[in-house]
Structures are given as C-alpha cells and as structure tokens.
Amino acid sequence: MPLMQKLWKGLVCAGVLCLIILGTHGNFRTSLLHHTSATSQAQAAAFADANQNACVASLSPQIMRVPGGVIDITFAPGRFDVPEATVLAWVRRAAIAVSTYYGHFPVRHTRVRIVPVEGERGIFHGTTYGEGGGFTRIPVGEHVTTEQLDRDWIMTHEFVHLSFPDMPRQHAWIEEGLATYVEPIARVQARQLKAAGVWSDLVRDMPQGEPQAGDEGLDYTHTWARTYWGGALYCLQADLRIRQLTKNQKGLQDALRAIVAAGGTLDKEDWQLEQALRIGDQATGTHVLEELYAEMKAQPVAVDLPQLWKKLGVTTRGGQLVFDNDAQWAAARLAITGSPQAAPMTVASNREDETAAENQSRP
C-alpha cells in the first residue's frame, strides 16, 4: 500500500496534526493531513527532538512578538549555515503575512519548534497542532540557504492553520484548502510576493482541485488533490461569489477574520463546520459559505476554470500570462490580492523588543 494511503487509512480524529510532506525543488508540493491525538503527539514530538542528541548544542530560544501575538521559538539540537537571525526573520515574515491577512496574528500565543536536519538543505515539512494555542514543528536542513528561506511558503501555510477551528478528518479539505488559498494571498498583501506570480501559480495549480471520476464531494473524497486544491477551489469560488453579491465590498477575508474574532482558532476542537461558516456568512451579509458547502460537500462540482480566469482578466497569450484590468471581474481579482490596509505591516522592526531579542532558559 502506498505510504499516503497507509497514512490516510490510519487516521484517528482526536485533534489536529497537519503533516506536510513536500519536495524541496521549485514549486512541487505533495502534502497530506494526518489527524491524531494532538496533545500526546505534540508533546512526543517536542520531547523526542529535544533529547535526540543531547551532546549537540541548540540555538537560543526566542520570544518573538508579532502583531496581536507572541511566538515562543525553540530549536532542537543542531546548527545552520545561515545566521540564527536569518532563520528568525523567516518565521517573522510568515507571521507578518498571516497577521496582515487576518488583521492580527490569529492566536495570542503559539510555539514553534525548529528542528535542524543534519546534512540537508531546504525546509522539509511542517506539523501544526492546536494544543495550548498552537504548536508547529518544522524541520529545516542545516544547509538551508537565505534564498530558500525567502522563497518558503510552508511556515506561512502552517500559521494559517491556526486561524480556523480544529475539524474532523471529514472536513480536512476546509483546513488545507484555506491554508493553500490564503498563504500566497497573505504574502502578496504583506508585499512579500508579486500578485502576478500568485495568479500565475493559481492558474497552473487550481485545476488539480477539480473532481475526478468517482468523486463523492469534498466531505467524502479524501485524496491529496481534493483536500488541498479542492478546498482551495471552494475558497476561490466563495471569495468571488461574496464579492459579486456585495459589489466587491466584502470577500472571503472578511468572513475568515470574523471566524477568528469569534474565537474560531485551531485550539478549539468542539466547533462544527457549519457553525464557523455561519459566522463567516454573517460577516459578509450573505449565505455563500453555507450554500457553497451544501453544493460541494457530497457531490462532484466541476468549475469552468478557463471561463473563470477569463472573467478575472487572467489570460494566456503566446504562452505568457496577460492581465486584463477591463475584464468583467478584474476588480475582484485586484481586491483579493490588494492590501487590506493603507500601510502593510512590515517585516523588520527597529524596536529591540519586537525582534526576538529575549532569551529564555532552555528546557
């Protein structure tokens, strides 16, 4: 049985553990979500890498203050070629992107455990748990480069997971779909990515979310493609429907901010999906999230993506992506990736107390 099937078959829903396995080259992403006992797994992961090599020194723990939250950062034993400050800047960039999208960091306190991987390059996978406000464990190759950290999307993806309640496996598509859809948009809004590149990637990758033969809807088709990109397709359609109904005054972002404001974050294990969607809909004055869920949850719903891109003013001419700002829905496209505020939050800070300067005693 392939590894992915084995893991899917072994799912136990008692809390969230999102495990992403990915390639380290270019834009290749292979991911899966694994539900298990969050508390025991998070603690086991933290203790395991804390004790794996007691002879090797660890980098200093840090407390990072970000808008609306605090991130406790610890390192498993090991080292990096790049300075510690470069690794911390990578975490801060991801936190700023998510804070920009949601208006503030989604939880008041979370923990990040960075695990140096001897002899390797790149960022390998992330795992985020809901316990205690949140805990993300993320292995990073000791030879990771500044460029790889600058390009990385995984840390932002993991932080997006903090912004929605813990869901059972049946609804894994909403958790992974949101993280897949929001991550690049958040980075554009924080001016860490160019909008053109994000739309280009969406045009390339979104077809993976279309239902294939035998599909039984998002709640009942637990393939990688339908979980990540099927969920992202739900998000894109929801965003566009909300914008059409509200004359582009509201979008999915407003709904997601409302869910966080109502306390719908990953540390909540007793929320129903319908409850979160209802709160989101109330924020936009529509029923888009609930109605779209009813449409897509138990049956395959194909989306005419070529037509959708055309309406958004994203077309291909001679192999090049061309943007048409006179297209029917061009304003919606511009609003989705536009900055929600006049002055986006910045990555760097001149204030010493905001730049991860405080050391903690080691565990």
**CA trace torsion 241, 243, 247, 248 (10° rounding):** -170
Asked if 87 touches Zn ion (CB under 5 A), the answer is no
- CB closer to Zn ion out of 176 and 267: 176
Q: How far is the CB of 262 from Zn ion (least distance, A)?
A: 22
Q: Around Cβ 148, how many Cβ atoms within 10 Å?
A: 17
Q: Which amino acid type is present at position 252?
A: L
Q: How far is the CB of 109 from Zn ion (least distance, A)?
A: 20
- CB closer to Zn ion out of 17 and 18: 18
Of the candidate spans 2-10, 18-26, 292-300, 348-356, the one that interacts with Zn ion by CB under 5 A turns out to be 18-26
Site for Zn ion in 47-66 (CB under 5 A): none
Of the candidate spans 10-18, 134-142, 258-266, 348-356, the one that interacts with Zn ion by CB under 5 A turns out to be 10-18
Site for Zn ion in 247-306 (CB under 5 A): none
In residues, how long is the chain? 363
Q: Distances in Å between the alpha carbon of 117 and those of 79, 136, 209?
A: 8, 16, 32
Cα separation, 197 vs 183, in Å, equals 13
Nearest CA among 340, 169, 171, 155 for reference residue 250: 340
Cα separation, 190 vs 337, in Å, equals 10
Work out the angle between the directed axes of helices 288-296 and 231-245 (0-180°, nearest 10).
140
Contact with Zn ion (CB under 5 A): which of 32, 179, 238, 260?
A: 179
- CB closer to Zn ion out of 172 and 202: 172
- CB closer to Zn ion out of 177 and 280: 177
Contact with Zn ion (CB under 5 A): which of 18, 149, 252, 314?
A: 18
Name the DSSP class of 226. Answer: I
- CB closer to Zn ion out of 105 and 309: 105
Q: How far is the CB of 6 from Zn ion (least distance, A)?
A: 19
- CB closer to Zn ion out of 179 and 256: 179
Nearest residue relative to Zn ion (C-beta): 18
Q: What H or E segment, with its residue span, contains residue 116?
A: strand 109-117
- CB closer to Zn ion out of 131 and 176: 176
Q: How far is the CB of 245 from Zn ion (least distance, A)?
A: 29
Q: Given CA atoms 333, 23, 28, 230 in this order, what sign does their dihedral have?
A: negative
Q: How far is the CB of 223 from Zn ion (least distance, A)?
A: 15
Q: What H or E segment, with its residue span, contains residue 59?
A: none
Binding site for Zn ion (CB under 5 A): 18, 176, 179
